[in-house]
Structure 1
Amino acid sequence: MNPNTVIVRFETVAEQTAGPVRRIIGFTRARELFSLIDSADLEANPRSAKAGPVTESILESITETPDTFVFKTKGILVGASSYEKLQRNRYRLTFENTKIEGILDGGHNTLALGTHILVHALGDNAIKRKVRTWADFKEFWEEHRDEVEDLRARKASDDDYDSSALDFLIPLEVLVPSNLEDDESTDAFNSSLLSICSARNNNVQLTLETKAGKKGFYEVLRSALPMEIEERVEWKSNDGGDVKVRDLIALSWIPLSKLDLDDMPKILPQNIYRNKGECAKLFDDFMSRDDVSRATDGEYTRKVHNKQVMSALKLAGMLPTLYDKIYKDFPEAYKANGGKFGNINVVKVAANMRTQPTTYFTERNVDYSYPDGLIMPLVYGLKALIQVEDNGTVAWATEPMKFLDEHLAVIVRKYRPVLDAFRFDPQKVGKNEGSYDLIYDAFETQLERQSA
């Protein structure tokens, strides 16, 4: 067997030694994973990586909070039987026996991070749906080697460079023999890798969304969704859906936040985009309240009985379709105001892509692929179209589809200064509270003019 060799560079690094093992631990940039993915494999990992809620949550964290992602993950654990310390925090690692050496833990992190790289290399979010296993990923990785290498070669000075793609930090831990000159110590190291690897792979917990689904908190929303969307949602861990339930829960706070109930949770509008985990937690807490749901079948499951909440969740069932409509129509609305949508840095033109891009929820073909951070303020603006009735329930003040057909271009004209100010950076646009306030006012103004 020919040994596989890789050089990794740490941004910050420290070394610790105990018995036959030396631990090299620190932070590395995502771009350092290219060579690691090429040379190391998951053969040594006892749990094969598979796409699902775990990898989706990791991808979400990378997209929404790249600056703090390094503190939200255990990162990747690598074992190598031989190494050499180089200059500038670099280490040359050699994997001589890939049955016990390579990626020992963090397989799901590696799969998610590799998928993230592929998405940016190909400019195609649909890759997330196509990569279901590590074998799928490796096949795509090799098939699109040219695009991957092109992304790897890009520099910060390049016009098409997206700093969020490769410059965020990842925790990397490397286990190597403490004394390469001592055969007994090296043998002890190799023997210890199996037990270390096994111990690192025995901690799996149910997600918050899975627990909430088991309690029955999603039933009203589930019944309100069009069947074509409901069937694509991963309502519980590993059931194979392409749509994340936490995306639906985040959107549901748009109508829920219109309710006039005691002690309503306060949701910052930008958190619907940047902190869906918090949205899911607050949803679970809110739905657990006795004034919202009551216990059934003992104390474990609950049924929603609050009519105001039920009315809001029924409106939430329409939001995925409206979300996709905005995603599809936004480019034309932008062009109607003199803009050249295809020239925007983060936008990919369908005609230039290998795979036809589609909308997220309904899988409708679209002419462009772009980050959803650009449209989240527009999606939030739909809240202005929701009115509170005399009995406290909520309803549409106007038919939202028709409203978007008639007014989206005008609203986007008011939105352009925000996009220009942030240079179409989806992270900055999607996380800025002022973006949401401006668009909410724009929706409200157009609704008033329509009603006048």
Structure 2
Amino acid sequence: MTDKKSIIIKFEAESDQTVGDITKIVGLVQARFFIPIIDALNLEANPRSSRTGSVTDAIQETITNSPKLFPFMTKGVLLASSQYERLDRGRIKLEPNNPKIEGILDGGHNTLAIGLYILGQSMEYHGMTLSSSAKTWDLFKEIWIKNRILVDAYIKDITAKVTKNNLDFLVPVELIVPKDKNDTACVFSFTNNLLEICEARNNNAELQLTAKANQKGYFNALKELMELHNPAIAKRIEWKTNEGGAVKAQDIIALSWLALNLLSPVKEANSDKPLEPVAANKLYSGKGACLKQFEKLMSSPDVTGEAEDGYHAELINAEVRSAFRIAVDLPDLYDYIYENFPKCYNANGGHFQAITACKTLNRKRKVKVTPFKGKEIDTLTPDGFIMPLFYGLQALLGKREKNGKKEIYWTTPPMTFLNDNFCKIVDDYMGNLSLCDYDPQKVGKAQKIYIDAIKTYKMAKAGML
């Protein structure tokens, strides 16, 4: 359990509303009393991380030009805490029990914009300039902590009326807490409803399915395995929206269906209907559909159960875990195919750069790197040509029962297999490009080409190429 951090915030014009097991405290907080929120809380409970852009620019512009109107022009910030204590003079002490589900549920961009404004004013007062590098919440917090002493000095001089108060604007704050913090059932009900509240509050910003899946914990097992067994790839993945990362979570999820499609049937949540596998060509043309089906898979009671916190999902299906162990290898295998396809194509009598789509891609893109590891390479390839070759790797997977549990496993080391056979596989595959007029869109969307690729891999595995 993460160490608890207590904070004290001071409300003005405070009012309470209680419905069921939840009490909502609504009020306004002066900017200088908002500082403890920035100090103590992060955006772990928020489905998205915040980053600077037109939204944060507009918020700061309002604070600068219309501070009196600011509380009427923003919905403010929504906080949640399962433990709290009412003090005197409108002050409330918060002690979030689990920062992964409590803290800032909504208003991450408001918090970032307000924090940047306060820090900018403090640094300007001391003859310094706030770096423009604070583009994300995490980068901002690093700079905030480093310069926190300047904020205190600025607030001290404002209080002593030594300098003009540029922090006299008010921030609308909603705080939700359990109706009875001493009632275990009430607190459990409160925390159990936080994700639903969080999703609803973020719907105005069209909360992405990626953010919801991450917040629910559906990525956790795959993320942990990736960090353990493939750290070079893990550090490049953006699991949480806006957190930063060259590789998007949905691209990793799409690849994982190479193995997940071999799972024994599982039931969809609240239904006896078995979950449908993902069509092979959707890994190329329907990554959103891959993610949606992944969310259905991970919400199945055959796959996940409730974690100890009563909020997140916890993987309980050993066969799915084994598929995730396969998924850890897939970005490197995709990159190998991506890097070596042009060489093998030319080695088999083709002229890769004569293909219009390939020539255009390489002329337009100055930076040439592999999609997942970001390794510098000489030639880029349209993904439509690569995905069927990648999907052929499914021929190297098998299913077995081990220690009484079902398992998906590599029947042969995949990278060794590619080193020994890939150019022969490309020789057999090249005809598919001509059949599709060398159009990567047609190749990537043709289900038959994926089936043929699996057959080619099987032939190579049997020593028939």
3-state SS, counterpart of residue 338 of structure 1: coil
* The one of 299, 306, 315 aligned to 2:326: 315
* The one of 335, 343, 347 aligned to 1:324: 335
Q: TM-score, normalised by structure 2?
A: 0.52
**Quick check: 1:350–1:366 contact (8 Å CA) kept in 2?**
no
C-alpha distance in structure 2 between counterparts of 1:407 and 1:304, whole Å: 36
* The one of 241, 248, 273 aligned to 2:284: 273
**Quick check: 1:324–1:361 contact (8 Å CA) kept in 2?**
yes
1:408 match = 422
C-alpha distance in structure 1 between counterparts of 2:413 and 2:263, whole Å: 19
Deviations 1:58-103 (A, max 9, x none): xxxxxxxxxxxxxxxxxxxxxxxxxxxxxxxxxxxxxxxxxxxxxx
3-state SS, counterpart of residue 331 of structure 2: helix
> Superposed, which structure 2 residues align to 1:32-43 within 5 Å?
none
3-state SS, counterpart of residue 449 of structure 1: coil
Aligned length in residues: 259
1:423 match = 437
Alignment CA distance shift 1:278-1:297 (3 Å): same
Cα offset, 1:390, TM superposition: 2.5
The answer to whether residue 449 in structure 2 is matched with residue 435 in structure 1 is yes
C-alpha distance in structure 1 between counterparts of 2:362 and 2:383, whole Å: 20
Q: Which amino acid aligns with 1:422?
A: C
Deviations 1:381-414 (A, max 9, x none): 1111011012420110111011111111111111
C-alpha distance in structure 1 between counterparts of 2:452 and 2:395, whole Å: 11
* The one of 248, 253, 257 aligned to 1:249: 253
1:228 match = 232
- Superposition CA RMSD, Å: 2.7
Cα offset, 1:321, TM superposition: 0.6
Cα offset, 1:361, TM superposition: 0.6
Q: TM-score, normalised by structure 1?
A: 0.54
Alignment CA distance shift 1:354-1:257 (3 Å): closer
> Superposed, which structure 2 residues align to 1:39-438 within 5 Å?
203-225=204-226, 226-262=230-266, 263-348=274-359, 355-391=366-402, 392-438=406-452
C-alpha distance in structure 2 between counterparts of 1:390 and 1:367, whole Å: 43
Q: Which amino acid aligns with 1:442?
A: T
What percent identity do the matched residue pairs reach? 37
C-alpha distance in structure 2 between counterparts of 1:311 and 1:390, whole Å: 11
**Quick check: 2:348–2:427 contact (8 Å CA) kept in 1?**
yes
C-alpha distance in structure 2 between counterparts of 1:350 and 1:269, whole Å: 24
**Quick check: 1:224–1:318 contact (8 Å CA) kept in 2?**
no
3-state SS, counterpart of residue 415 of structure 1: helix
Deviations 1:427-447 (A, max 9, x none): 100000011011011011111
C-alpha distance in structure 2 between counterparts of 1:354 and 1:321, whole Å: 22
Alignment CA distance shift 1:298-1:242 (3 Å): same
3-state SS, counterpart of residue 398 of structure 2: strand
Alignment CA distance shift 1:241-1:404 (3 Å): same
3-state SS, counterpart of residue 374 of structure 1: helix
Cα offset, 1:290, TM superposition: 1.4
Q: Which runs of 5+ in 1 are unaligned?
A: 1-44, 50-131, 134-201
Q: Which amino acid aligns with 1:423?
A: D
**Quick check: 1:215–1:302 contact (8 Å CA) kept in 2?**
yes
Alignment CA distance shift 1:297-1:206 (3 Å): farther
Deviations 1:144-186 (A, max 9, x none): xxxxxxxxxxxxxxxxxxxxxxxxxxxxxxxxxxxxxxxxxxx
C-alpha distance in structure 2 between counterparts of 1:405 and 1:221, whole Å: 26
3-state SS, counterpart of residue 375 of structure 1: helix
3-state SS, counterpart of residue 303 of structure 1: strand
**Quick check: 2:261–2:278 contact (8 Å CA) kept in 1?**
yes
**Quick check: 2:339–2:380 contact (8 Å CA) kept in 1?**
no
